[in-house]
Structure 1
Amino acid sequence: MLETSSKANTSYFQSHLKRSNLAFTHPTPSKNSSTQPKRANFVLLDHFSMSSFSVALDTLVTLNLVHDNPIYECKTYSVNNNKALSDISIEIATDGNIQDIEISKDSILVICGGFRNSLKPEPLLNKKLAKAAQSNATIIGIWNGSFYIADSKIKTGSTISIHQDNKAIMEERFPELNLSTSTFTEEGTLLTCSGPNSTLDMMLHFIKGSHGTDYSQAVAEVIGSDRSNKKDSKIINRFLLAESHTPDCIKESIQLMENNVEDPLTIDELTKLVGISRRQIERLFKTNVGVTPARYYMEYRLTHARQLIQQSNLSIFEVSVACGFVSSAHFSRTYHRFFGQSPIDSRRTSQAS
C-alpha cells in the first residue's frame, strides 16, 4: 500500500473536496466566534408552499453547519395567531406573528407564499417590508410572496419573479413591473423566485454573494448534489460531472484513484495507466484541480475515511486499512491535521449530533 510523505499533507483540504468536508472540520476557534447570528425571519402566509419554505430554510441551516460559527438564527412568523397552515394542510406553530419580527441591516426577511394564497393587502406586513427596505436588509419573495413585496410599494427594480398562475393579477395590479415566471431575479438586496424549483438556485446564489463561492458550493454538495441530469455511470465524481472542460486524462486519473482506495496506486503507476508523463499529470492536476495528484489522492482517501467513521461500525484500525494507510497512528495524525480532531473524536461528534 502506498504511503505518501506527511510533508505533502499540510493542515487542510485544498481541492474541491473541501466543500464536502467543511461541515466536518473543526478549526481553532476564531476571535469572532462570539459574534451573534443574524436573524432570518420567515413569514409563512396561509397555504404557504411547504417544499419552498423547507428548501430555503435548509440552505441557511446547512450554511450554519458548514461554517465555523452559526451565521443565521432562523425564526418563523405567521400573519396572526402564531400558527400557519401549509399547502399540504400541515399546521406549523410559529415563533410569533408579523408584529414580533425584528428588522436590522444584517437580517433577512423571507415572504413564503404558495399556490392557494389569498392575494390581498396585508398592512402589517407592508410596514415590516418598508422597514426592511429602509434598513437595507435582504428581502426574499418565494412563489407569490412577490405579490406582497410589490404591494408594499418598496423599490423593487425593474424585474420581479412570480408564479405563472399569479402573472395575470400581477400585470393588472402592477403594470410597471417586468415579470419573470421561469427563474429567480435579483434587484439589489431584493431576491424573488417563482416556485420550489427555483428556490434552491436563488438561495445558493444569495449565499454565494453574501458568503462566498466555497460556502455556496459546500451547501450545494449537501442538499443539491442530486440535481445533475447526466447519467454517465463511468464518472461517479460530482466534480467531474460539473467540470466539463476537465481533460479526459484527469477524469480517468481521478476515477482510478476512487477505485483504488484500499491499495492506492503510486503516481508513477497512475501515469502509466493513463498514458501521460509524471510532469504532465502534475501540471494538469494543478491547473484543473488546484492540487497535485498525490495531494488530491490523500484528500480523497481522508474524505472516504471520514464517511466510514461516521457511517459505519468499522474500528479506526479497520478504517485506516480500508483507506490505504499502513499505520493507524499515521492515519490518526493525518486525519487530525485535516479535520482538526482525531478519528475517534469525529465518531463521537457524529454520534452525539
Structure 2
Amino acid sequence: MDIQQQIVEVDTAGKKPRRFVFVLLQDFTMLCFASALESLRIANRMSGQDLYSWTLIGEGGDTIICSNGTEFKLQADLGELNRDDTVMICGGIDVQSATTKKVLSWIRREARRGVVMGGLCTAAYSLAKAGLLDGKKATIHWENQDSFAEEFEDVTLTKSIFVVDGNRITTAGGTASIDLMLKIIADDHGEDLANAVADQLIYSSIRTDQDTQRLSIPTRIGVRHPKLSRVIQAMEQNIEEPISPSVLAKDVGMSTRQLERLFRRYLNRSPKRYYMELRLQKARNLLMQTDMSVINVALACGFASPSHFSKCYRAHYNTTPYRERGAQAARLSI
C-alpha cells in the first residue's frame, strides 16, 4: 500500500506540535488510553507531519500497571508542564484509591496554571475530586454514574460519551476516546484528516458529544416494545422515589394487569421485581464505589429502612450490604 498517495495535506505554518501529557493512574484501563494515543499517532502518519507529540507520566515516575496487568514504563514523575500542554488523566478500576493526595495536589496546581485537563474513563472522578468540574458539565463511565452523582452534586453529570466544557474534558471510557480525539483532530486540522484517521481505525460511525454511552433500552433488554421501554426508562429515572406499578401503567395507557402480563411475557418477572433489581443494582454500585453509610445507600435507592434494604439485598445477592462492603475492602487491600 502506497502511503504517500493517502497523505492528507494539512497547513501547519507557524504551528508547533500539540503535546498531550497522559497521566497513567494505577489500574488504568488500557483501552481508553490506547484509543486516544493511537488516534494521535495515526493523525501524524496520515498527515506526514508531527502534528502531535505525547509523553507518559505518573506518580513516582517509574512504572505503572494497568487493569489487565500490563506494566508501562513512565517517562517522568508528576512535574511542572507547559501551559499549552493538554493533560489526559487515564483512570480505571478503583479510581478513588488511585487518586492520591499527591495526584490531587498536582492536578490543582497545573489547573491553576491554565493547562487543559481531561479525564478518560473513570478519571472524571479525579478531576471532580480536585474541584475542577464544579459548575461544569461532565461524563463518566455509566457504571460509575450513580456514585459520582451522589458525591459531586455541583457537577452537571451527563450520559454523553464525551463532554468538552471549556478547558475541562471528560469521556465515558473505552472507545469514546476515539470519538473525542477525532473531534480534537477535526478542530485542530480539519474534517478530512479526522475522517482519514477514522478510516485507518476501521471506525465507520463517528459519534459526537450528543451521543449517549449506553445501548438503548430495547437493545439492552432484547425487546422492542415502546410501552415497555417507556416504563423501564421511568423506573431507571426514579430510583430514590419509586413509582407504583399502577402509576407506571397509567402513564403508558395500560391497566396494572396488562403491565404485569407485559413484563411476564418479555422479561419473565413482575414489574415490582424488575424495579427492585434496578434499585439493588444501584445500591451495590454505591456500596462498592463510595463511602456512603449503608443507611444513606438504602435511602438513595428508595428503601424506607436499613432492615428492609438488608433483607432485600440478602435475598438477591446472598449476602448483606455490610458483608459486601467488607469483602470489597478486603479485595482492594490485597
Q: TM-score, normalized by length of structure 1?
A: 0.51
The corresponding residue for 2:112 is: 134
In the TM superposition, residue 59 of structure 1 has moved relative to its aligned partner by 1.0
Residues matched between the structures, number: 204
Name structure 2 gaps, 5 residues minimum: 207-334
The corresponding residue for 1:163 is: 141
> Which amino acid letter does the alignment assign opposite residue 97 of structure 1?
D
1:177 & 1:65 partners in 2: Cα distance?
Answer: 38
Counting only pairs closer than 5 Å after superposition, residues 105-254 of structure 1 correspond to structure 2 as 105-119=83-97, 121-155=99-133, 157-227=135-205
2:138 & 2:7 partners in 1: Cα distance?
Answer: 34
1:127 & 1:212 partners in 2: Cα distance?
Answer: 36
Counting only pairs closer than 5 Å after superposition, residues 57-68 of structure 1 correspond to structure 2 as 57-68=37-48
Q: Is the 8 A contact 2:61 2:75 kept in 1?
A: no
2:48 & 2:155 partners in 1: Cα distance?
Answer: 40
2:25 equivalent among 45, 63, 76: 45
2:7 equivalent among 22, 26, 29: 22
Q: Give SS of 2:82's match.
A: coil
| Greater length-normalized contact order (CA 8 Å, ≥ 6 residues apart) | 1
> Which amino acid letter does the alignment assign opposite residue 7 of structure 2?
L
Counting only pairs closer than 5 Å after superposition, residues 310-325 of structure 1 correspond to structure 2 as none
1:89 & 1:181 partners in 2: Cα distance?
Answer: 29
> Which amino acid letter does the alignment assign opposite residue 21 of structure 1?
Q
Name structure 1 gaps, 5 residues minimum: 1-17, 229-353
1:189 & 1:78 partners in 2: Cα distance?
Answer: 21
> Which amino acid letter does the alignment assign opposite residue 54 of structure 1?
A
> Which amino acid letter does the alignment assign opposite residue 57 of structure 2?
Y
In the TM superposition, residue 172 of structure 1 has moved relative to its aligned partner by 2.6
Q: TM-score, normalized by length of structure 2?
A: 0.54
Q: Is the 8 A contact 1:104 1:132 kept in 2?
A: no
Q: Give SS of 1:201's match.
A: helix
User: What is the RMSD computed on CA atoms of the aligned residues?
Assistant: 2.9
Q: Is the 8 A contact 2:17 2:53 kept in 1?
A: yes
In the TM superposition, residue 155 of structure 1 has moved relative to its aligned partner by 4.8
Structure whose alpha-carbon radius of gyration is higher: 1
For the pair 1:79 / 2:59, whether they are aligned, the reply is: yes
**In the TM superposition, what whole-angstrom CA distance separates every residue of 1:119-159 from its partner, at most 9, and x where no partner exists?**
46433323332344334332211111100111111255431
Q: Is the 8 A contact 2:32 2:174 kept in 1?
A: yes
* Residues 36 and 197 (structure 1), Cα distance of their counterparts in 2 relative to 1, 3 Å cut: closer
In the TM superposition, residue 162 of structure 1 has moved relative to its aligned partner by 0.8
> Which amino acid letter does the alignment assign opposite residue 159 of structure 1?
K
Percent identical residues: 23
In the TM superposition, residue 51 of structure 1 has moved relative to its aligned partner by 0.9
In the TM superposition, residue 218 of structure 1 has moved relative to its aligned partner by 2.1
1:30 & 1:170 partners in 2: Cα distance?
Answer: 40
The corresponding residue for 2:247 is: none
* Residues 69 and 197 (structure 1), Cα distance of their counterparts in 2 relative to 1, 3 Å cut: closer
2:98 & 2:26 partners in 1: Cα distance?
Answer: 12
The corresponding residue for 2:69 is: 89
**In the TM superposition, what whole-angstrom CA distance separates every residue of 1:308-339 from its partner, at most 9, and x where no partner exists?**
xxxxxxxxxxxxxxxxxxxxxxxxxxxxxxxx
The corresponding residue for 2:307 is: none
In the TM superposition, residue 170 of structure 1 has moved relative to its aligned partner by 1.5
In the TM superposition, residue 30 of structure 1 has moved relative to its aligned partner by 7.6
In the TM superposition, residue 226 of structure 1 has moved relative to its aligned partner by 4.7
Q: Give SS of 2:175's match.
A: helix
In the TM superposition, residue 211 of structure 1 has moved relative to its aligned partner by 2.6
1:117 & 1:214 partners in 2: Cα distance?
Answer: 36
> Which amino acid letter does the alignment assign opposite residue 38 of structure 2?
D
In the TM superposition, residue 94 of structure 1 has moved relative to its aligned partner by 1.0
